Amino acid sequence: MLQENLVEFIENSLKSNWFLQAYNDYGGQSLTYRKVAERIIWLQYIFKKSHMKNGDKIALVGRNSSNWAITYLATITYGAVIVPILPDFNPTDIHYIVNHSDSTFLFTADSIYESLDESKMSGVDAIVSLRDFRILHSKKRHINQAFERADSHYLDEFSQLLGPDKLKFEQIPNDTLAAIVYTSGTTGFSKGVMLQHNCLMANIRFAITNLPLNPGDRILSFLPLAHAYGCAFEFLFPTILGCHITFLSKIPTPKILVKAFQEIKPQLILTVPLILEKIYRKQIKPVIEKTSMKLLLKLPVIRKILLKSINHKLHEVFGGKFHEVVIGGAPLNQEVELFFREIGFPYTIGYGMTECGPLISYSNWKTTKLFSVGKIIDTLEVSIASSDPNNEVGEILVRGENVMAGYYKNDDATSETIDKEGWLHTGDLGVIDEDRFIYIKGRCKSMLLGPSGQNIYPEEIEAKINNLPYVQESLVIEKTGKLFALIYPDLEMAETKGITEENLKDIFEENRRKLNKELPAYSIISQFQFYPEEFEKTPSKKIKRYLYTRLFS
């Protein structure tokens, strides 16, 4: 298959959409594609004068913004490697990722910089503000000079590149490493997923062919850009197509999101299940479960009229101009899915993972099948590790262009995930039908999803809880959108210390508050709950999570 070049696609988009609106931060002024190109060239002048080489790593941490996007594009079109970091990670996690990735530059939001310690990131030569690209910290004189002279000197060196018919980036082969995306922050669990240019391009190529967008269309970017899902489909794909992207730099609360949707009226919406489930449970279900409404909904003609009205109002919530809502990151509640299917709401569910940059399967809302996560995309092949893939559940295996190059500096984890035949073991369980639609039946992995699509790994939190006094073991579960920790307490030790069960609850509550200060906001524990006995385990001594997920869901 012919491999289109990612850098060439970015270059061509900037040139062909030169006078169109490209980016703006929510509530701020727009930048044209011309202005984006100028800022990319300005940054690349600094990279060059700072002696940045192809393959050098640049870390990037901050909420979605135009400058975040420009930094990302400037890095990968220069031939350097971007290391996007979730802004919710605590300082210790950020220090670790910056060091582990061998990043020499760090672009950061000012508010995050205030909590960082330069001395704990010894390999970083410069730290730069994402707000205005001013230098915050630098070890080397020539880097300081590069920033000081950039405004007055970059045009002397790169003026020949400024113009819709002149712009030209250095050719970067598609097998070059583009990004290292860390699946989590905690040092004992974090893995850096290496995504090559072609992996990103495979996702973009599929989106161009299959997602309903055109140059000039509007997009609201609110999923974390440090995640592969938001990065590929709310940023890279719309940029290459020539769309106008508004970056929601605020925390995407339901109130803020609805206001932004209605102002921007995006043509395509990418989201996570939690948002639709909240709308259903808080706004729709209380209405349709009223006694009078239940009676009316039993009348076929009236039911059709009422459901049509709900569908119309739901469209208005999302701005009224969108072609489709694409849901990813986790399964959608089946009750919610059935309701949205009945009213004709244009939603579809895709499936992916960071290690595929991220897409594995998708089908548009008109062709998708109920409870499926779409059809395997054409850049991948899929296998189900079972004797009867259509009926017998097995682990989902994929291989092809989308698959990562491996985990950065972690050969053991790479060989555990990608076998000798090139199959990526997803850790998810499912079946596939004769039309190549995938149905997720369970998860080998225990990953949970945060309110804005952040990956939450319970083992990380449990490792911290298990180190607390009087804890034998713990299990973190998700219930009604919140995280709870089931604690099997060490009552024998507490008794030897003269601590009653009531006193123990007070101690645990204090420890919960302290623990939450160490965790990102999206993964704080709402409550510790005592569990009366040891958790049931597999022969390899792993807790049977599914038993407790069902029990407390």
Q: What integer pLDDT is reported at residue 315 of this predicted model?
A: 96
Is the pLDDT at 423 greater than 50? The verdict is yes
Q: What integer pLDDT is reported at residue 548 of this predicted model?
A: 84
> For residue range 38-92, what is the model confidence (pLDDT) as tens digits?
999 999 999 999 999 999 999 999 999 999 999 999 999 999 999 999 998 889 9
Is the pLDDT at 539 greater than 70? The verdict is no
> For residue range 83-126, what is the model confidence (pLDDT) as tens digits?
999 998 889 999 999 999 999 999 999 999 999 999 999 999 99
Is the pLDDT at 250 greater than 60? The verdict is yes
Is the pLDDT at 486 greater than 60? The verdict is yes
Cβ neighbours for 291, distance < 8 A, ≥ 6 positions apart:
none
The string over 1-33, giving b where at least 16 C-beta atoms fall within 10 Å of a residue's C-beta and e elsewhere, is: eeebbbbbbbbebbbebbebbbbbbbeeeebbb
Is the pLDDT at 495 greater than 70? The verdict is yes
Q: What integer pLDDT is reported at residue 428 of this predicted model?
A: 87
> For residue range 368-383, what is the model confidence (pLDDT) as tens digits?
999 999 999 999 999 9
Q: What integer pLDDT is reported at residue 152 of this predicted model?
A: 84
d(CA 465, CA 477): 13
DSSP code at position 543? B
For residues 205-216, average pLDDT: 94
Nearest to 280 by CA among 339, 327, 239: 339
Look at residue 220 and give its three-state secondary structure. strand
421's tokens: 């035949």
Is the pLDDT at 158 greater than 80? The verdict is no
81's tokens: 């490697």
> For residue range 399-412, what is the model confidence (pLDDT) as tens digits?
999 999 999 999 99
Is the pLDDT at 1 greater than 70? The verdict is no
Q: What integer pLDDT is reported at residue 540 of this predicted model?
A: 44
d(CA 305, CA 311): 10
Q: What integer pLDDT is reported at residue 501 of this predicted model?
A: 82
Query: What domains can be seen in the chain, in order of their start residue?
Result: 6-247 (3.40.50.12780), 268-320+323-443 (3.40.50.12780), 457-552 (3.30.300.30)
Q: What integer pLDDT is reported at residue 166 of this predicted model?
A: 87
Q: What integer pLDDT is reported at residue 551 of this predicted model?
A: 67
Is the pLDDT at 133 greater than 90? The verdict is yes
Q: What integer pLDDT is reported at residue 444 of this predicted model?
A: 63
- Percentage of the chain with pLDDT > 70? 96
Q: What integer pLDDT is reported at residue 450 of this predicted model?
A: 80
Cβ neighbours for 535, distance < 8 A, ≥ 6 positions apart:
473, 475, 486, 488, 543, 544, 548
pLDDT band (50, 70, 90) for residue 493: confident
Question: Average model confidence (pLDDT) for the chain?
Answer: 91
pLDDT band (50, 70, 90) for residue 188: low
Higher pLDDT, 475 or 185: 475
d(CA 68, CA 89): 17
pTM: 0.86
